[in-house]
Amino acid sequence: MTDLLEISVPDIAIARHRGYIYSIYARGSNFSVLYIGQTALRQGALGRLSQHLGDGSANTFRQRLRDYETRANLSLTGLKGVQFATVPLSQRQEFCGNARSHREAVEYLVQTELNQHQRSLGITIISTVRKSGYCDVDFIEREASSIVRELLEWLSLLCLQTNASSELEESQLFH
């Protein structure tokens, strides 16, 4: 059964058309990286994840991962899969549709805040984002703050699991 690939989707809302801020976490034997993005695709955040992992030009997660591999002089052959989390943005009109500037403002604030936690979480953020003129708008700041809290909780749990898994692997090597 080594050919079986599995994905679990706990809520089909992840494929609905609306605005999202999402995070892709990947780890290998000697690295843990995080990619943060935004989307309002018709296929939802799940559709955007598919683009990131695919071979097309919209696979910026894979591109940033390769860039990181080169910069950090690492081999990513030990990649142990990815974890994906997404937070739907509120239903405000500014977060829906093709205009991305409001979503990008939230994304910028989320990434800026998570940058402050890289060392304590043992991760490297590999995504890039530009500051938007909407970053100082109250509802943007509130949205970002709420998302940061959710992602920090998720990342804290992931990092605990990762550390426990790494310790187990190490103990098995020495027995």
Residue 162's pLDDT is what? 64
pLDDT > 90: percent of the chain: 67
Residue 78's pLDDT is what? 67
- What pTM value is reported for the model? 0.88
In the chain, where are the structural domains located?
13-168
Residue 170: pLDDT band by 50, 70, 90 thresholds?
Answer: very low
DSSP letters spanning the chain: -TT------S-GGGGSSS-EEEEEEEEETTEEEEEEEEE--TTHHHHHHHHHHSSSTT-HHHHHHHHHHHHTT--GGG---EEEEEEEPPS-GGGSSS--HHHHHHHHHHHHHHHTTHHHHT-EE-------TTTT-HHHHHHHHHHHHHHHHHHHHHHHHHHHHHHHHHHHHT-
pLDDT > 70: percent of the chain: 89
For residue 81, pLDDT beyond 50: yes
